[in-house]
Structure 1
Amino acid sequence: MVSLYQPEKYKVYLGSGKSIGFCTIWNEAEAVFGKSKILQEKTAILGTLYSRSGVNIVLRNLALNPQIRKIVLWGNGGLSNTQFGLMGKSLIEKIWNEGIDSDGIVGGTKFKLEKEIDAEIVKKIIGNVELIDISHLLFEEAEKYIEKIEAVGEPYMEPIKFPEAVLEKVETFPSEEVGWLARGKTIIEAWTRVVERIMRYGLIKGTQYGYQQRELIGVTWVISDENPDKPDLLLALEWPEELQKVTGATEKDIKEYYSVFLSPEPPTGISYTYGNRLMRYPLNDRKLDQIEEVIIKQLKDSPDSRRAVATTLVPEVDAFSKEPPCITQLQALQSRGKLHFLATVRSHDIFKAAIPNAFGLRILQKRVCEKLGFELGYLQITSQSAHIYEQDWNNAYQLVKCAFWERTPSLVFDLDTQRDIRGYLIIKVKDGKIFADFQGPQGEDLMNFEGETAKEIMKKIAQLEILSRTDHLLDIGAELQKAEIALKQRLDYNQDKSLIF
């Protein structure tokens, strides 16, 4: 008889076998199990390992089922072999190959197992359960491999149920609470940063629907390069298919949603859509097309107009509605021949609605640009209440853990993704002083700093807020401190090079 840890939350599939556990690496477990009679007959448990935290669940299920003597890992899809997809697999292999210490820290890593998981029991599991990786095999080959495995005899210990995990961390980090900024070249990149901010800093509070939410107030996310005709979903391709569907991050869902913004007619049974409110806004005597008659007209009359504004709110209707529009205002502003869209969202379900919303706004922006002859500029979305509902917390938590918290940052500078759009600093040491020349992206001289200590220059740079990126600020701080050491020790200083003592 197989026992499971929280099966309603951590879905696994039970076969008629006794001693084999089959663990897919980001391959959909249901599809794999459903199409294979061999797996159904030969395995006891089949599940999927997504993230490093999922290793805790694997160990809990192994402790509950000591009759399982072999764990077979199989990940042969595109996602299974990405940096994102390999995190869980790499960790479980570390546990078997390098073990854990008495505090539950996995050898060769800084990852700590849940404190409720007994390290001595884990060591017993490692000693009695064979870990086998067959990820190099195609599915049909993997089936043949499983079919040849002989069943192992008796359990090696009594079943053990570890205590429930109790989180030791603060649920919400201290923060400024109101006013946030997230930037990305693509919608998915900016959206993922918003999700991370909410899961780290979002205040847990109630809703009018009776369940909980994590909320940040005043979140502005800015997208620079998204082409809505060819949605950039590269980052989302690393996610499980279920997560792509939940968030609407599939090309099919996105393009189906475009009609919500591009069509003035709502579908049958729907009282309104954003396209309907924007292009058929109800006046006393007629319907107003705010896109053509306001936004496009204003910018044709004057490309510098600040009056190209549309609203979706109808006060006499929405003041008494339980479902007023979430996106409430849209403004178009032109600069340097580019047309920027600025959207205000009063209430934004970030996990389930925000991605389709953003792509809908972007396609509308592109259509307006084409009619006016402007280049496609930035899309800025200000989510006044940016929230994630409690039923989505687990998926959001797993996503940001893999995308940010557990991902090792690259130590190599990438000009394409890490360039500071405001410019850069050239640092030199000469004549007993440190000099820092601030230059624009094209090399134009903008500002000069000098001082005898790193702190003098760092304080001035911080006071003027001339840099836009946190990593750039940290790098400049390190370089200035290095320049001061070189000055005091009479060493040669070369920016971005190690000091030679």
Structure 2
Amino acid sequence: MTMDISIGRVIKAHTISDAWYRGLNTIWNQGSVITDERGSRILEYMNLMVVINDPYTSEIPEDFSWNIERLDEYSKQLISGDNTQNFEYTYGQRLRNWNNEIDQISYVIDKLTNNASTRRATAVTWIPAVDTKVDEVPCMIIDDFKIRNGKLHLTTLFRSHDFSGAYPANLYGLSRLLKHVADKTGVTPGKITTISISAHIYEHDWDKIEDIIKGVY
């Protein structure tokens, strides 16, 4: 007999730190243990949606390991598309030079500038001709921008999301990307929503996350 797994939760968070702790708590208490295709055991919650009301306050959780210098470097690569460390790919490359031919962030800015109500200001990182043939593929798949009521909101879809090790860094970078696009389009940055199809915690982080959850809750 197989137990049903929990799928689908919406968390309305105040800040990135609030989002991280509440997301970890959901995964920890309601997730299911699986072994992924690489043989790693993870605690997974499917289709976790987090809406962050203010991405620019309490950005770095106290228990997160990255320092501000590393976060700023990550953000710079995301916005500029630079790959100074010669990774196989970066999100920035996919967004600023998709398939070596399209700057999707410039496209998004143009769309928003020309029509504030557009539903087409969307950027993707998945390249089928490449990513169906390699092992290292993007986790962040879609970044969608919309101007509503004078504010620019960002919704990001992750097919796979290392919530314990990467979520605050991802959101720090996305908050900078949102501000970059907002500045270029002359509007105020708004909310960030993340949809994590597989929000998970790796087994090697379980002890640390258990301590964090106990300390917070």
Does the pair score TM above 0.5? yes
- Counterparts of 1:208-219 in structure 2, within 5 Å, are 208-219=37-48
Conserved in 1, the CA contact under 8 Å of 2:71 and 2:169?
A: yes
Query: For 2:27, which of 198, 201, 211 is the aligned residue?
Result: 198
Residues of 2 paired with 1:217 and 1:263: CA distance? 31
Instruction: For residues 227-273 of structure 1, give each alpha carbon's deviation from its aligned partner in whole angstroms, at most 9, with x where no partner exists.
Output: 2xx7633xx33x4xxxx32xx3x323321211231122212431211
Residues of 2 paired with 1:321 and 1:211: CA distance? 19
1:362 is aligned to 175
Q: 1:365 to 1:175 in 2, by over 3 A?
A: farther
Q: CA deviation at 1:175?
A: 7.6
Conserved in 2, the CA contact under 8 Å of 1:191 and 1:221?
A: no
- Counterparts of 1:343-362 in structure 2, within 5 Å, are 343-362=156-175
2:15 is aligned to 186
Residues of 1 paired with 2:137 and 2:59: CA distance? 30
1:325 is aligned to 138
Residues of 2 paired with 1:346 and 1:334: CA distance? 24
Q: CA deviation at 1:274?
A: 0.7
Residues of 1 paired with 2:102 and 2:128: CA distance? 15
Query: For 1:260, which of 57, 60, 77 is the aligned residue?
Result: 77
Residues of 1 paired with 2:58 and 2:17: CA distance? 9
1:279 maps onto 2:80 in alignment: no
Query: For 1:341, which of 151, 154, 162 is the aligned residue?
Result: 154
For normalisation by structure 1, the TM-score amounts to 0.42
1:232 maps onto 2:49 in alignment: no
Residues of 2 paired with 1:211 and 1:365: CA distance? 33
Conserved in 2, the CA contact under 8 Å of 1:179 and 1:219?
A: yes
Residues of 2 paired with 1:225 and 1:344: CA distance? 19
Residues of 2 paired with 1:337 and 1:319: CA distance? 39
Conserved in 1, the CA contact under 8 Å of 2:75 and 2:172?
A: yes
- Which letter maps to 1:262? I
Residues of 1 paired with 2:36 and 2:87: CA distance? 24
- Which letter maps to 1:215? E
Conserved in 2, the CA contact under 8 Å of 1:231 and 1:251?
A: no
Instruction: For residues 414-436 of structure 1, give each alpha carbon's deviation from its aligned partner in whole angstroms, at most 9, with x where no partner exists.
Output: xxxxxxxxxxxxxxxxxxxxxxx
Q: 1:402 to 1:181 in 2, by over 3 A?
A: same
Instruction: For residues 332-353 of structure 1, give each alpha carbon's deviation from its aligned partner in whole angstroms, at most 9, with x where no partner exists.
Output: 0111000000000000011111
Residues of 1 paired with 2:18 and 2:200: CA distance? 17
Residues of 2 paired with 1:204 and 1:268: CA distance? 34
Conserved in 2, the CA contact under 8 Å of 1:175 and 1:201?
A: no
Q: CA deviation at 1:287?
A: 1.4
Q: CA deviation at 1:226?
A: 2.1
Residues of 2 paired with 1:296 and 1:350: CA distance? 29
Q: CA deviation at 1:330?
A: 0.7
1:302 is aligned to 115
Structure 2 SS opposite 1:287:
coil
Residues of 1 paired with 2:82 and 2:169: CA distance? 18
- Which letter maps to 1:270? F
Conserved in 1, the CA contact under 8 Å of 2:59 and 2:172?
A: no
Q: 1:267 to 1:370 in 2, by over 3 A?
A: same
Query: For 1:377, which of 187, 190, 197 is the aligned residue?
Result: 190
Larger Rg: 1
- Which letter maps to 1:223? I
Residues of 1 paired with 2:134 and 2:58: CA distance? 34
- Which letter maps to 2:163? I
Residues of 2 paired with 1:385 and 1:212: CA distance? 13
Residues of 2 paired with 1:256 and 1:287: CA distance? 24
Question: How many equivalent residue pairs?
Answer: 215
Q: CA deviation at 1:176?
A: 6.3
In structure 1, list runs of 5 or more residues that go unmatched. 1-173, 405-501
Residues of 1 paired with 2:35 and 2:178: CA distance? 34
- Which letter maps to 1:259? K
Q: CA deviation at 1:199?
A: 0.5
After the TM superposition, list the runs of 4 or more consecutive aligned residues in structure 1 that deviate by more than 3 angstroms: 230-233
Residues of 1 paired with 2:85 and 2:69: CA distance? 21
